[in-house]
Chain A
């Protein structure tokens, strides 16, 4: 898979490139700012861009702006945004209307390389990856009339993995349960929370996140 890496620190780009290459990805270009990134996106024929939310010149949200622009102009290219902080606001902002080929992860996720590479692969293959911290914050959030309280702990784990953008197979194998059991859990979750079943594997990310974020 052809990947572009964008971050203003050259050491970080090199480190990330080595990690990606050892994971079987081909890094076809590095960019230190949004302009370089735009040129690379136009020329390098990549299928995935990994970029930092903060980039020069103002170091605020240039990366987020660039990510949304790439998603709009090149819907076929996956975008994985990295950050030192994660905010549900940015997650939903980046996901926009469709959760295809998009991810938003803490930079700390390199601590578990397999999970990180799995998330990269997921985004590159058309899926989505929402940082577990965003999900756990939303899940742990207290509500006045909290239907989440009615879920069993197993159901909550399933909901969290769904919100991260995992596929049914991935969830079933992570929780070591059969696909049939998983589907039963998902049905219960939907009916307990009053959610409409939201189609395919990762399409439900948006519905679940929006549900968790609303009061």
Chain B
């Protein structure tokens, strides 16, 4: 909009006020020259329309110059002009306006109430956010002039929109009912917007929402009074109450100017140093939107994430949530997700974002690091799980393949031996016997090999029987104490703890020179604990050999930790704990 257009609109709006005021003044040319003026006899009645109309226009002009790109100012002026034309002009200047102009005004003036609903639904941003609001408001703009046409055709010259009889025309009930229905639906939408909105929305709507409550009450009372046939004080007071609305609008808009001071507080907080997890609450406080979220851009994943590295999908399109992306759009730093009522506080958001830019960048690096760490953790867990299932598969292949075939061969050799005996061939039978013994040894070795790869008792019976089985084979006495509860642990946890015990026992037998060992089990508050201790010479070291190192990795892969205490006086204790359900 060019400056000239703006000036024209501003001048036109002021002219409307002047025109409305002058229409209440009667000028008389004195015979002897000169002019005297007097107020029209019911000038006080005219104030009832001129005061709210003018205040809407004037407040609208102020709002428009404060926020030139925000439609709120124009909408306020629209309400004001509607009020001024609808009543001041028509009621008191009949005869001073041409008939075509009067008919035109019949259509335009009732629109003030529609523009008011539009204003309330769009406040403070100036745009209708919800699709429903847009559809309904558009249809009002079409329906209300039609209702006015209905009134004109029915022969009532005043049309609609007389706030002194408040709004609807007793003589044309059809048109009046349509108009009234529009007002009721519009009010319902405003109330809906209030109740659906979050804290930020209500805060911004409150300067216009609360004045609407007494206005509506007086509207209903005044309507009842006029319908009852008497012009009461109520009918006069009701329009004057409307003045609260333009004032509320201005307060609402001015308040966001004051909100800038909260950004100042934010800067002070930042200079004191804010931890990444304090950024979001600080921003939410500065922007008066507790629902505000900070989403950090992860370049590697090409998505936004919260502080914990969890993915956040930004809201798109028609939504109650709005987004402001900070930094270069091709590789942003972060995005703020907030209530859409803040959209028009562009400057406020930009200022706050500029203040936290550096801190956000730091936090983003931290999030990136956490996300990478999480990814590495998961991939490590997957690797261990894959290795475990591979071991299980190899064991199964051996069991179903080689071991089963050898056992079957054993049976078949027995068969052959029986046959040789039947044919009285003891020499062959003796040869077969030698083969049977060799085969039995092979089976024994194969069994130990398969057992080392993956003990079937672990899958068949669980961790505790598997540990007991280990201790039964151990050449040093091992005492098993404690319990792990009835419910079995998840297979990766069982495998991790089993191999800890197995490796710890093997190490103790090989190096500790201890005379006894103890395996203690425990499970409490989401933690399964296994501890293997011996009374040997100690000196176990994570850095020597890969056995203990591998165990540490294995336990860490399932989110647990391994602690090794080993000194030359108290033997070695290997403590493993894993988080469990």
Contacts and interface: CB of A to CB of B under 8 A. Distances in A.
Contacts of A43: none
B512 to A, nearest CB: 14
A40 to B, nearest CB: 21
Interface stretch (B164-172, B256-264, B397-405): B397-405
A18 B461 contact: no
B410 A111 contact: yes
B407 A84 contact: yes
A68 B473 CA distance: 26
Nearest to A22: B418
A110 B407 contact: yes
Contact of B469 (A87, A142, A144): A87
B411 A142 contact: no
B477 A144 contact: yes
Contacts of B469: 87-89
A23 to B, nearest CB: 9
A19 B436 CA distance: 14
B192 interface: no
Contacts of B404: 9, 12, 84
B415 A142 contact: no
Contacts of A154: none
Nearest to B471: A141
A185 B488 CA distance: 43
A61 interface: yes
Interface string A171-208: 00000000000000000000000000000000000000
B437 interface: yes
A30 to B, nearest CB: 14
Contacts of A64: 460
Contact of B396 (A12, A22, A59, A137): A59
A113 B440 CA distance: 12
Contacts of B436: 111
B410 A110 contact: yes
Nearest to A15: B411
A12 B477 CA distance: 39
A108 B415 contact: no
Contacts of A146: 477
Question: At the interface, is chain B mostly helix, strand, loop or mixed?
Answer: helix
A61 B310 CA distance: 41
B400 A108 contact: no
Interface in A109-145: 110-111, 113, 137-138, 141-144
A16 interface: yes
Given A111-B436, A138-B472, A144-B516, A90 B461 contact: yes
Contact of A18 (B411, B468, B480): B411
B468 A89 contact: yes
A88 B460 contact: no
A90 B478 CA distance: 20
Contacts of A73: none
Contacts of B412: 15
B447 A85 contact: yes
Interface string B450-462: 1100011101110
Nearest to A212: B472
Contacts of B465: 87, 89
Given A22-B418, A108-B440, A87 B461 contact: yes
A107 B410 CA distance: 9
Q: Which of B414, B461, B469 has the most CB of A within 10 A?
A: B414
A210 interface: no
A93 B460 CA distance: 12
B408 A11 contact: yes
A146 B515 CA distance: 13
A153 interface: no
B237 interface: no
Given A19-B411, A22-B418, A54-B399, A137 B472 contact: yes
A172 B437 CA distance: 26
Contacts of A97: none
Contacts of B459: 60
Contacts of B221: none
Nearest to B479: A215
B146 interface: no
Contact of B411 (A85, A87, A110, A137): A110
Contacts of A9: 400, 404, 408
Contacts of A144: 477, 479, 516
Contact of B407 (A12, A137, A213): A12
B411 A12 contact: yes
Interface string A8-28: 010110011011001000000
Contacts of A90: 457, 460-461
Nearest to B442: A108
Contacts of B400: 9, 59
A111 B437 CA distance: 7
B516 A87 contact: no
A119 B440 CA distance: 18
B180 interface: no
A12 B399 contact: no
Given A85-B455, A215-B480, 4 more contacts: A19-B414, A60-B456, A84-B399, A141-B473
10 contacts: A15-B415, A18-B415, A59-B400, A84-B450, A87-B457, A88-B469, A89-B457, A90-B461, A111-B440, A137-B472
Interface of A: 9, 11-12, 15-16, 18-19, 22, 53-54, 59-61, 64, 84-85, 87-90, 93, 107-108, 110-111, 113, 137-138, 141-144, 146, 213, 215
5 A-B pairs with the lowest CB-CB distances in the bound complex, closest first: A15-B411, A89-B465, A111-B440, A142-B477, A61-B460
